[in-house]
Amino acid sequence: MTIPDSYAQIQVYQQDPAELKAWIKAQALELGFSDCVIAKPDAQAELARLQEYLDRGYHGDMKFLEDNLEKRANPALLVPGTRSIICVRMDYLVETPKPRYVPYAPNSAIIARYARGRDYHKIMRGRLKTLATKIREKVGDFESRPFADSAPIFEKSLAESAGMGWTGKHTLLIHKKSGSFFVLGELFTSLDLPFDAPASKHCGSCTACIDICPTQAIVEPYMLDARRCIAYLTIEYKGIIPEDLRRGIGNRVFGCDDCQLICPWNSFAQITPVEDFHPRHGLDQVSLLDLWQWDETTFLSATEGSPMRRTGYQSFMRNIAIGLGNAPFDEKIVYALQHQRALHDEIVQVHIDWAIQEQLTKTA
């Protein structure tokens, strides 16, 4: 039997808002989310900061950040009827990491920890849809839409406004009891739920993340120049990486965790219960030379359902070439670079030539 809309709305509003909010949070935790807060659908306060970021050109080639500013500031324009936003996070560490300043093994490749397993976007959206179904079974029909870094949303600002944590000087969200190794998701809803209060900030005078950044991408506290950021350069950027930044990239072939690894609050980082975040294809202990042997078919197979697909094959090989150039001298590296140069496009070849020169320089 189809329930009339008017009756469904009566069901919703019969629920005590505070009790419903507590129940929703409990359901979110049962689904494997690490935390759940309720945010007001208002991010106007973040707009001025984004505009300054754009005016400085720090977004590089991420032109999509210039679009839909009104929708970012007012989520109700993105999803009409939105009255509250359920913000969740999922921890993704599978083991306590060593500090980044521990010397890495020669020829090893580093992939950001969030990208070693399944694509979290799919995991997040699936669980948010399940949460919406559970709420609907309890209160009746309501409007909802799940997001996971998939729309023009100030997701970090919304989560911060509701107490999920505070923005650190590296521009990532930090939770006092869980550090920063987590990803965010949102469920826009038409429900009237009480909003959570923001958390206090606790970075103090610490500048560890600024000091450790290999390419000095954190140009001032709370301001990141993406054009210098290793995560942007190795994932979003598709062109020739400036030569003065290549040595700083080191052996990082997809993303970078350095500013998180050095953060004192990550001594409290939680280990994930989500199996999908565990590394696949040995991506937590793979060598640069092994990756250099991948053809495009192997790349597509090994990155199926992975965030690593985003960078594309040629850009991924460009990153590996830089890593090989930065590795300690090895005749095998020089041979591999020389004999596979013709297999790649002109952009990759520029980085191969640089890598060969870097290797040969180390023989002197």
For 246-262, the pLDDT digits (tens) are: 999 999 999 999 999 99
- 167 is an annotated ligand-binding site residue: yes
Per the domain annotation, does 21 fall within a domain? yes
- 72 is an annotated ligand-binding site residue: yes
Active centre residues (catalytic): 149
Per the domain annotation, does 108 fall within a domain? yes
Q: Which burial class, exposed, middle or buried, applies to 267 when counting CB atoms under 10 A from its CB (0-12, 13-18, 19+)?
A: exposed
Is pLDDT of 236 > 60?
yes
Q: What pLDDT is stored for residue 14 in this prediction? A: 61
Token couple for 38: 């309720």
Q: What pLDDT is stored for residue 273 in this prediction? A: 92
Q: What is the SS3 string spanning the chain? A: CCCCHHHHHHHHHHCCHHHHHHHHHHHHHHCCCCEEEEECCCCHHHHHHHHHHHHCCCCCCCHHHHCCHHHHHCHHHHCCCCCEEEEEEEECECCCCCCCCCCCCCCECEECHHHCCCCHHHHHHHHHHHHHHHHHHHHCCCCEEEECCCCCCCHHHHHHHCCCCEECCCCCEEECCCECCEEEEEEEECCCCCCCCCCCCCCCCCCHHHHHCCCCCEEECCEECHHHCHHHHHHHCCCCCCHHHHHHHCCEEECCCHHHHCCHHHHHCCECCCHHHCCCCCCCCCEHHHHHCCCHHHHHHHCCCCHHHHHCHHHHHHHHHHHHHHCCCCHHHHHHHHHCHHHCCHHHHHHHHHHHHHHHHCCC
Per the domain annotation, does 364 fall within a domain? no
Using one digit for the tens of pLDDT, what is the confidence trace for 197-233? Answer: 999 999 999 999 999 999 999 999 999 999 999 999 9
Q: Give me the mean pLDDT over the 311-339 stretch.
A: 97
Q: What pLDDT is stored for residue 276 in this prediction? A: 94
- 36 is an annotated ligand-binding site residue: no
Q: What pLDDT is stored for residue 44 in this prediction? A: 95
In this structure, is the dihedral angle defined by the CA atoms of residues 181, 186, 192 and 198, taken in order, positive or negative?
positive
Per the domain annotation, does 176 fall within a domain? yes
Q: Give me the mean pLDDT over the 335-356 stretch.
A: 97
- The Cα-based distances of 143 to 33, 79, 191, 306 in angstroms read 21, 9, 8, 30
Per the domain annotation, does 317 fall within a domain? yes
Is pLDDT of 283 > 80?
yes
Q: Give me the mean pLDDT over the 192-197 stretch.
A: 98
- 257 is an annotated ligand-binding site residue: yes
Confidence of residue 98 (pLDDT cuts 50, 70, 90): confident
Q: Give me the mean pLDDT over the 186-198 stretch.
A: 97
Q: Name the more confident of 10 and 364.
A: 364
Is-contact 171 135, C-beta < 8 A?
Answer: no
- 87 is an annotated ligand-binding site residue: no
Give the contacts of 301 (CB within 8 A, at least 6 positions apart): none
Residue 305 region by backbone torsions, left for phi larger than 0, else alpha for psi between -120 and 50, else beta: left
- 206 is an annotated ligand-binding site residue: yes
Is pLDDT of 49 > 90?
yes
Is-contact 141 3, C-beta < 8 A?
Answer: yes
φ/ψ (deg, to 5) at 93: -70, 135
Is pLDDT of 280 > 90?
yes
- Cα separation, 62 vs 134, in Å, equals 36
- 259 is an annotated ligand-binding site residue: yes
Q: Name the more confident of 182 and 15.
A: 182
**Residue that has been written with the tokens 């106007």 in this structure:** 44
pLDDT-wise least confident of 1-10, 14-23, 126-135, 241-250: 1-10
**Percentage, residues of the chain above pLDDT 70:** 94
What is the domain extent for residue 270?
15-357
Is pLDDT of 9 > 50?
no
Q: Give me the mean pLDDT over the 86-112 stretch.
A: 82
Per the domain annotation, does 6 fall within a domain? no
Q: Name the more confident of 101 and 126.
A: 126
- The Cα-based distances of 131 to 27, 88, 110, 127 in angstroms read 7, 11, 34, 6
Q: Give me the mean pLDDT over the 346-359 stretch.
A: 98
Q: Give me the mean pLDDT over the 269-294 stretch.
A: 94
φ/ψ (deg, to 5) at 62: -80, 65
**Percentage, residues of the chain above pLDDT 90:** 91
Per the domain annotation, does 5 fall within a domain? no
Mean pLDDT of the chain: 93
Q: Give me the mean pLDDT over the 32-37 stretch.
A: 96
Is pLDDT of 1 > 70?
no
Confidence of residue 23 (pLDDT cuts 50, 70, 90): very high
Total domain count for the chain?
1
- 224 is an annotated ligand-binding site residue: no
Per the domain annotation, does 74 fall within a domain? yes
Residues present in the chain in total: 364
pLDDT-wise least confident of 213-217, 273-277, 349-353: 273-277
Q: What pLDDT is stored for residue 4 in this prediction? A: 45
- 291 is an annotated ligand-binding site residue: no
